[in-house]
């Protein structure tokens, strides 16, 4: 009896949690399928309307910006390139630097690690001017390289990889050495496959991090061709006010829903490995 | 003929610890040599130096007439079985076995053939596609052995490979290793702290203490004629009894009892050693003890008691004893079955 109450209340709390997360998304989605005027006069919608294709088509294909040449689609592509680039390079660099710190016992390895670690205290926003200066000196403004490169060093990921590598038993390295694996082979044949789940998790976090970058692309890009989704969100709002017409609320909702898709996709694709790693203890 | 030879091998760690001190040893072809000693005695370090996992501070290691001090571990023609097996968790058994061969650049057919042969030998054929995580302890042990065998090395090194198995399996695997080693005739070095393993497996033992080899010899030699006090103490369960005393005109004299000796020794301070099984109940004996504790093992009974001067003496009796605590018994020493060690140098005197 007692356990039933407990179970019921536990589920009750969980359901509330789920509702808190899902309801706003649902409202955004439902509203995005209605006519603009309907939302402005009647408020947000709970039910699905009949303007799904019109709204989404408008968002994806309408040309906007000062030049009237960019579309939301191009911003999605930019954001994806930026997030994918940041996540991929971040994972590679942190895995390699952690490998160096843990396995190549050079002097100062520990101080160097802590030096990397304290960069956590200096987020991009704090060093944005010097970063901008460097990137602009290198003539990398308005380029994908410039969007990605300053964000690829990651203390967090280095830290996680370091912790993981330190938990790999030494015998594995020794056995591999006897089997003729050099340091590159040990990294590729052992550490990378062993940290598959770790890589998936890091990739997810870093992708979302890269995807949601706002300030950096805003400063970096003057050319509309390189605008990203998160910047675009602001621009779309602005335009709808300055356009003199009614705010295009329904399309904004469509835009928000669309902008959630890439990170959600990444999570959905990678979580299979993620969960596999949690239930399989192979280390 | 000496096949694996250590010459004045020394290991000093960067922090100054001397793990192995000028050790020399020669192991002949096909021999199974056991390094036995307490934990931290340097036996594993010695093994790891042979494997190439540890630098050699000084001295030389030769395998088949080739100095291998500076040779890369993978090129020493040596295979090692680790204590926790160190199987590659993300590779299935086949890949575990073939990884080394692949790195050597052998052809696919060749690898397949070799792996299948070994898998058959070790009866692990049906697990080839499984990952180590899906195998039992004994099966993992076999895979670890297989990984060593498949490379067809000049020497096998075993680093306490049985210590992760339960007692029953350990006995089985021990016998299997011995059989396999004889069958293949590969020179082997086996490190253990377990003296039963050492006694049963080894063609010869090297008893190591604090980085120094105390004695090398066949298991029975080491048991019957321990060269030092340490060896006598380390080999044999229950432990040998040690009684401090003096040699006085060809007689061992201690506070608790005397014992006439039939060898010639100078008068000096000594440690007198008696194996528990070399004592027998005999009313005319020279040691009288008061029974304190009895351990009944089924086949044997181990009886502990105090002699007159409070030395703790252990004695072993066949079968189930009728003695009880506080019984007083008199023990005689089997003829000549005593070990005398110099009190200073701890070396054997008789």
Task: Write the DSSP assignment of B236-277 as a string of letters.
Answer: SSSPPEEEEEEE-SSEEE-SS-EEE-SS---S-EEEEEE-GG
Does residue B198 register a pLDDT over 80? yes
A107/A246: higher pLDDT: A107
Cα–Cα distance measured from residue A232 to residue A243, given in angstroms and rounded to the nearest whole number:
16
- pLDDT classification of A240: cutoffs 50, 70, 90: low
Q: Determine the pLDDT at residue A283.
A: 42
pLDDT tens digit sequence for B314-339? 999 888 888 888 889 999 999 888 99
- A26-59 pLDDT, tens digit each: 998 998 888 877 887 888 888 888 888 888 887 7
Judge if pTM exceeds 0.95: no
B14 touches chain A (CB under 8 A): no
Q: Top-level CATH class of A2-279?
A: mainly alpha
Question: Among residues of chain B, what percentage have pLDDT more than 70?
Answer: 99
Per CB-CB distance under 8 Å, the chain A contacts of B87 are 175
Of B80, B87, B132, Cβ closest to residue A178: B80
- Letter string b/e over residues B112-124, b meaning 16 or more CB atoms within 10 A of that residue's CB: eebbeebbebbeb
Best interface-test mutation with B: which of A167, A168, A175 has the largest number of B CBs within 10 A? Answer: A175
The 10s digit of each residue's pLDDT in A181-221 is 999 999 999 999 988 888 888 888 899 999 988 888 888 88
- The ipTM assigned to this model is 0.82
What pLDDT, on a 0 to 100 scale, did the predictor assign at position A67? 67
Indicate the average pLDDT of chain A.
85
pLDDT of A66 above 70: no
pLDDT for the residue A227: 85
Structural domains in chain B, sorted by start: 27-55+65-229 (3.40.50.300), 237-342 (2.40.50.140)
Contact between B288 and B329 (Cβ < 8 Å): yes
Q: Is 80 exceeded by the pLDDT of residue B210?
A: yes
DSSP bridge partners of B25: B6
The pLDDT of residue A97: 92
B75, B86, B100 member nearest A169 (Cβ): B86
Interface residue of A178, A193, A199 to substitute, partner B, most B CBs within 10 Å: A178
For residue B132, the 8-state DSSP code is G
What mean pLDDT comes out for the span B208-218?
A: 93
**What is the pLDDT, as a whole number, of residue A282?**
46
Q: How far apart are CA B80 and CA B32, in angstroms?
A: 14
Which chain A positions have a beta carbon within 8 Å of B88's beta carbon? Answer: 172, 175-176, 190
At A82 the pLDDT is 92
pLDDT at A232 over 90: no
Shortest CB distance from B103 goes to which of A179, A282, A283?
Answer: A179
Q: Which of A181, A196, A281 shows the shortest C-beta gap to B103?
A: A181
Do the Cβ atoms of B267 and B248 come closer than 8 Å? yes
**Contacting B residues, span 119-138, partner chain A, CB-CB under 8 Å:** 131-133
Give A193's contacts in chain B (Cβ within 8 Å).
90
- Note the pLDDT of residue A244: 57
- Please tell me the distance from the alpha carbon of residue A29 to that of residue A23, in angstroms, as a whole number: 10
pLDDT band at residue A1, thresholds of 50, 70 and 90?
Answer: low
- Indicate if the pLDDT at residue A273 is higher than 60: yes
Please report, rounded to a whole number, the percentage of residues in chain A having pLDDT higher than 70: 91
Say if residue B266's pLDDT is above 50. Answer: yes
Mean pLDDT score, A66-88: 85
In this predicted structure, what is the pLDDT of residue A267?
87
User: CB distance A174–B80 less than 8 Å?
Assistant: yes
């Amino acid at each position: 009896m007692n356990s039933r109450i407990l179970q019921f209340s536990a589920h009750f709390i969980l359901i509330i949690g789920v509702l808190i997360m899902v309801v706003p998304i649902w409202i955004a989605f439902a509203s995005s399928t209605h006519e603009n005027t309907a939302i402005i006069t009647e408020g947000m919608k709970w039910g699905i309307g009949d303007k799904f294709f019109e709204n989404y088509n408008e968002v994806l294909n309408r040309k906007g910006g000062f030049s009237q040449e960019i579309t939301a689609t191009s911003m999605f592509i930019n954001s994806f390139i930026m997030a994918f680039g940041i996540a991929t390079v971040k994972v590679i660099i942190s895995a390699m630097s952690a490998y160096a710190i843990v396995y190549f016992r050079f002097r100062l390895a520990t101080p160097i690690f802590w030096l990397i670690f304290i960069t956590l205290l200096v987020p991009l926003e704090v060093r944005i001017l010097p970063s901008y200066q460097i990137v602009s000196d290198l003539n990398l403004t308005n380029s994908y390289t410039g969007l990605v490169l300053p964000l690829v060093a990651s203390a967090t990921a280095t830290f996680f990889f370091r912790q993981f590598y330190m938990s790999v038993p030494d015998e594995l390295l020794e056995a591999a050495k006897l089997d003729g694996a050099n340091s590159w082979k040990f990294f590729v044949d052992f550490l990378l496959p062993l940290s598959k789940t770790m890589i998936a998790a890091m990739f997810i976090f870093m992708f979302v991090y890269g995807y949601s970058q706002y300030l950096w692309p805003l400063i970096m890009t003057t050319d509309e061709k390189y605008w990203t989704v998160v910047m675009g969100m602001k621009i779309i709002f602005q335009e709808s006010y300055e356009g003199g017409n009614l705010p295009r609320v329904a399309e904004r909702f469509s835009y928000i829903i669309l902008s959630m898709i890439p990170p959600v996709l990444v999570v959905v694709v990678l979580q299979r490995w993620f969960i596999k790693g949690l239930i399989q203890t192979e280390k | 003929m000496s096949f694996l030879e250590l010459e004045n091998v020394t290991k000093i760690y960067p922090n100054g610890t001397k793990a192995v001190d000028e050790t020399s040893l020669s192991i002949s072809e096909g021999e199974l040599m056991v390094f036995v000693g307490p934990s931290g005695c340097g036996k594993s370090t010695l093994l790891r130096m042979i494997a190439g996992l540890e630098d050699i501070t000084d001295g030389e290691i030769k395998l088949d007439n080739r100095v291998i001090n500076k040779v890369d571990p993978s090129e020493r023609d040596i295979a090692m079985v680790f204590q926790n097996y160190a199987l590659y968790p993300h590779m299935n058994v086949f890949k575990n076995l073939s990884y080394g061969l692949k790195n050597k650049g052998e052809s696919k057919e060749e690898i397949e053939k070799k792996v299948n042969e070994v898998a058959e030998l070790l009866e692990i054929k049906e697990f080839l596609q499984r990952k180590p995580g899906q195998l039992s302890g004994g099966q993992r042990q076999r895979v670890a052995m297989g990984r060593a065998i498949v490379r067809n090395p000049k020497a096998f090194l075993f680093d306490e490979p049985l210590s992760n198995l339960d007692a029953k399996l350990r006995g089985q695997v021990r016998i299997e290793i011995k059989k396999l080693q004889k069958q293949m005739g590969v020179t082997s070095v086996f490190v253990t702290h377990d003296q039963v393993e050492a006694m049963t497996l080894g063609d010869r033992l090297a008893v190591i203490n604090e980085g120094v080899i105390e004695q090398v010899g066949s298991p029975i030699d080491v048991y019957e004629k321990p060269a030092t006090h340490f060896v006598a103490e380390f080999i044999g369960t229950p432990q040998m009894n040690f009684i401090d005393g003096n040699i006085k005109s060809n007689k061992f004299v201690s506070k608790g009892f005397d014992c006439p000796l039939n060898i010639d020794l100078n008068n000096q301070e000594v440690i007198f050693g008696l194996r528990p099984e070399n004592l027998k109940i005999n009313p005319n004996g020279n040691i009288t003890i008061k029974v304190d504790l009895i351990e009944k093992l089924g086949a044997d009974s181990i009886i502990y008691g105090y002699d007159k001067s409070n030395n703790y003496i252990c004695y072993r009796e066949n079968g189930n004893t009728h003695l009880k605590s506080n019984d007083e018994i008199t023990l005689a020493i089997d003829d000549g079955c005593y070990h005398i060690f110099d009190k200073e140098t701890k070396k054997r005197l008789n």
